[in-house]
């Protein structure tokens, strides 16, 4: 299940999640928290769903279908976060939280007053949190520029009650795109791939977290799911569709077309 906003342009949000689920052979269900009028150039409008209707969508799906894993994306407001948290805490599922805050074009996809609810209500339910660097900075109140600061921020995030955190390196510079993964039990690994010099990165975070969710739903361990999701997003970025006039979407077909010839580098400590 994905609980997220709709991207009318199809590159991020619910649409990216369902395309990822489909490519990975997983039956996707969706709970829409907001409609956005959006394309590769930016977000032009946001129309949130009422919290009661968000709850109704979740309950109706759970009453009928055996949901194995859930991800959250754009949740927009404190009341939607409270509703999603209250509803999910009754369910026995693995939860991937992508703390979507600001779109690449600069639009606010999470009201600033919603950050407290995210931290206090949703994060304690998360199997894994997948912040990019700016999101990790908002959650921790720290500024993050080095691996040392990434580790300190991860410790702070783990203290909020999440089981594990993937500190995504997409927003840093360097020849490699490195994601650092920390677990509550103190274990750690990092996954490294070549940084692609491209503007075709709309929806990278949504696609990556949806792939983790799909692999968890198929029964992979969290570590296996994160590593395989990194392959999915790397191939999706490396083979862009080159559509639209702004930040184009990633290519959800690439993993199935090319995965046999590709591995990412995993560092353990
Ligand atoms: N230019 C890039 N080349 C290779 N991998 C990237 C690139 N940009 C992002 N990634 C990867 O895509 C995933 C999503 O990261 P990121 O873009 O930081 O998330 P978000 O969309 O939330 O900002 C991460 O695994 C990150 O390492
Ligand atoms: C409806 C919706 N949800 C999430 C996002 C942000 O997605 P993300 O994967 O972080 O990609 P960018 O916005 O950074 O390209 C969105 N734009 N719309």
146-158, pLDDT tens digit by residue?
A: 999 999 999 999 9
For the domain spanning 2-268, the CATH number is 3.40.1190.20
Q: Which residue has the tokens 């109706």?
A: 60
User: Is 36 close to ligand 2, i.e. is its CB under 6 Å away?
Assistant: yes
The closest alpha carbon to 140, from 178, 172, 176, 129, belongs to 129
Within 8 A by CB and 6+ apart from 64, the residues are none
Q: Whose CA is nearest to atom 2 of ligand 2?
A: 13
Question: How far away, in angstroms, is 177 Cα from ligand 1 center?
Answer: 7
Within 8 A by CB and 6+ apart from 47, the residues are 34, 35, 36, 37
Pairing verdict, β 188-194 and 265-268: antiparallel
Among the ranges given (48-57, 167-176, 179-188), the one the predictor scored with the smallest mean pLDDT? 167-176
| pLDDT score recorded for residue 260 | 64
What are the pLDDT digits (tens) for 26-81? 999 999 999 999 999 999 999 999 999 999 999 999 999 999 999 999 999 999 99
Question: How far away, in angstroms, is 63 Cα from ligand 1 center?
Answer: 35
> Which residue of 103, 191, 201 sits with most ligand 1 atoms within 8 Å of its CB, as the best mutation to test the pocket?
201
Is 206 labeled as catalytic in the residue annotation? yes
Report the distance separating Cα 203 and Cα 201, nearest Å: 6
Is 10 labeled as catalytic in the residue annotation? no
HSE value, Cβ hemisphere, 13 Å, CA-based, for 45: 4
Q: Is 211 exposed, middle or buried (0-12, 13-18, 19+ CB in 10 A)?
A: buried
- Give residue 6's pLDDT band: very low, low, confident or very high (50, 70, 90): very high
User: Is 101 close to ligand 2, i.e. is its CB under 6 Å away?
Assistant: no
Question: How far away, in angstroms, is 185 Cα from ligand 2 center?
Answer: 31
Query: What ipTM does this complex have?
Result: 0.97
What are the pLDDT digits (tens) for 185-213? 999 999 999 999 999 999 999 999 999 99
pLDDT of residue 259 exceeding 80:
no
Q: Which residue has the tokens 């930016």?
A: 42
Is 168 labeled as catalytic in the residue annotation? yes
- Give residue 171's pLDDT band: very low, low, confident or very high (50, 70, 90): confident
User: Is 4 close to ligand 1, i.e. is its CB under 6 Å away?
Assistant: no
Q: Which residue has the tokens 């939607």?
A: 80
Taking residues 165-185, what's their average pLDDT?
A: 94
Report the distance separating Cα 119 and Cα 166, nearest Å: 16
User: Is 10 close to ligand 2, i.e. is its CB under 6 Å away?
Assistant: no
Q: Which residue has the tokens 């997220």?
A: 4
| pLDDT score recorded for residue 76 | 98
Taking residues 180-186, what's their average pLDDT?
A: 97
Counting residues of the chain whose pLDDT is more than 70, the rounded percentage is 99
DSSP string for 90-150: TS--EEEE----B-TTS-BSB-GGGHHHIIIIIGGG-SEE---HHHHHHHHS----SHHHH
Counting residues of the chain whose pLDDT is more than 90, the rounded percentage is 93
Q: Whose CA is nearest to atom 4 of ligand 1?
A: 195
Instruction: Tell me the pLDDT of the chain averaged across its residues.
Output: 96
Tokens of 171: 């927003």
């Amino acid at each position: 299940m994905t609980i997220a906003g709709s991207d009318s342009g199809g590159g991020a949000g619910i649409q990216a999640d369902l395309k990822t689920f489909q490519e990975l052979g997983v039956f996707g269900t969706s709970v829409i928290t907001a409609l956005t009028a959006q394309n590769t150039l930016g977000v032009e409008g946001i129309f949130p769903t009422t919290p009661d209707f968000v709850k109704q969508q979740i309950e109706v799906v759970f009453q009928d279908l055996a949901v194995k894993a859930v991800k959250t994306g754009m949740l927009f407001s404190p009341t939607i976060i409270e509703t999603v948290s209250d509803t999910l805490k009754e369910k026995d599922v693995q939860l991937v939280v992508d703390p979507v805050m600001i779109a690449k074009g600069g639009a606010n996809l999470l009201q600033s007053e919603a950050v407290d609810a995210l931290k206090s209500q949703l994060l304690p339910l998360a199997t894994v949190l997948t912040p990019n660097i700016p999101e990790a900075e908002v959650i921790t109140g720290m500024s993050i520029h080095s691996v040392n600061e990434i580790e300190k921020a991860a410790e702070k995030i783990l203290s909020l009650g999440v089981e594990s955190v993937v500190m995504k390196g997409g927003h840093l510079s360097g020849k490699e795109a490195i994601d650092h993964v920390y677990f509550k039990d103190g274990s750690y690994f990092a996954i490294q791939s070549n940084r692609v010099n491209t503007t075709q990165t709309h929806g990278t975070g949504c696609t990556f977290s949806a792939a983790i969710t799909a692999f968890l739903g198929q029964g992979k361990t969290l570590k296996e799911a994160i590593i395989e999701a990194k392959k999915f997003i790397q191939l999706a970025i490396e083979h862009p569709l080159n559509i639209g006039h702004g930040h184009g979407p990633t290519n959800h077909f690439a993993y199935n077309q090319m995965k046999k010839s590709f591995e990412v580098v995993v560092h353990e400590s």
